[in-house]
Amino acid sequence: MTQDSRDGSSTRVPNRLRPEGAGLSHTGQVRNSNEDALLTDPSGTLWAVADGMGGYGHGDVAADMVIEQLAMLPHTPISCAHLVGALQEANSAIRRWAASANVEQMGATAVAALVEGQAATIAWVGDSRAYRLRGGELSQLTRDHSVVQELIDGGHLTPAAVWQHPQAHVVTRAIGAGDRLDVETTEVALEPGDVLILCSDGLTDCVAEAEITSCVKSVSTPEAACRRLIAAALDRGAPDNVSVVVVRIDGAAAP
């Protein structure tokens, strides 16, 4: 398996729990370039996946700008408001760049996890997702901002019919798509043994949740879990870029 990895890292305030994580990104089996970007954090506090929207053009630039804004957060305790503010600043930066380059539209979806104490704050825009694996049970922490999700919520579409729908990949929110950006957030409790999984839709389009669970449970490290998940997507054709961050929580006190 040939890796095409685009990631970043930063130093953060240590946590009481010790998060250990890794990230991996791959171009996939069809695309010629990788328009995803990752943020991985040696201190364990801040993690993110940004998925550039290839149909808009310059998706790689947009994804990189999202990750840059997150990585610029100050090395002090970070709040949910800081996380939302960084994504909104990325929105403004992308729109300024697009205007200066005479690009009609460019954007990215993103999901970020802020791990502080015994909880994680998840912030997202679009259909990049976050999951928590606990005791063998996988829970989706995010709700897609997409046309098909709205149809499902309204009772007009079943989850099984999503991929046959002509608007299966149309998102209703994206960073850079408009002057105003609404970022959705949620906070979840963490326990030793939990695993957080952040991913682009390149993974979830190819790999069912049951197999995501199996891939992560079958290995002992986040690095191995990332490799296993990427390999599963590639085995199924991976028509899009595939990116994943896996963060394992243990109970050891951070130094």
User: Which sequence spans correspond to the domains of the chain?
Assistant: 18-140+173-250
Determine the pLDDT at residue 217. 96
Q: Quick one: pLDDT at residue 18?
A: 83
Per-residue confidence (pLDDT) for residue 113, from 0 to 100: 97
H/E element, 124: strand 119-125
Q: What does the pLDDT profile of the chain (255 residues) look like in tens digits? A: 333 444 433 333 344 678 999 999 999 999 999 999 999 998 899 999 999 986 667 999 999 999 999 999 987 788 999 999 999 999 999 999 999 999 888 999 999 999 988 999 999 999 999 999 999 999 999 999 876 666 766 776 666 656 666 665 778 999 999 999 999 999 999 999 999 999 999 999 999 999 999 999 999 999 999 999 999 999 999 999 999 999 999 865 444
Contacts (Cβ under 8 Å, ≥6 apart) of 146? 126, 127, 169, 170, 171, 172
pLDDT at 3: 33
Which 8-state DSSP code applies to residue 146?
A: B
Residue 117 is predicted with a pLDDT of 84
**DSSP symbol at 206:** T
- The span from the CA of 188 to the CA of 60, in Å, is 30
Helices within the chain (DSSP H only): 59-71, 80-100, 147-153, 201-204, 209-217, 222-235
- Residue reference for tokens 């098909």: 148
26-39 exposure pattern, b = at least 16 Cβ within 10 A, e = fewer: bbbeebeebbbbbb
Residue 252 has what pLDDT? 54
Pick among 2.60.40.420, 3.40.50.800, 3.30.70.990, 3.60.40.10: CATH of 18-140+173-250: 3.60.40.10
The Cα 244–Cα 50 span in angstroms is 10
Strand-pair partners of 232:
none
Query: 119-125 and 184-189: which strand pairing?
Result: antiparallel
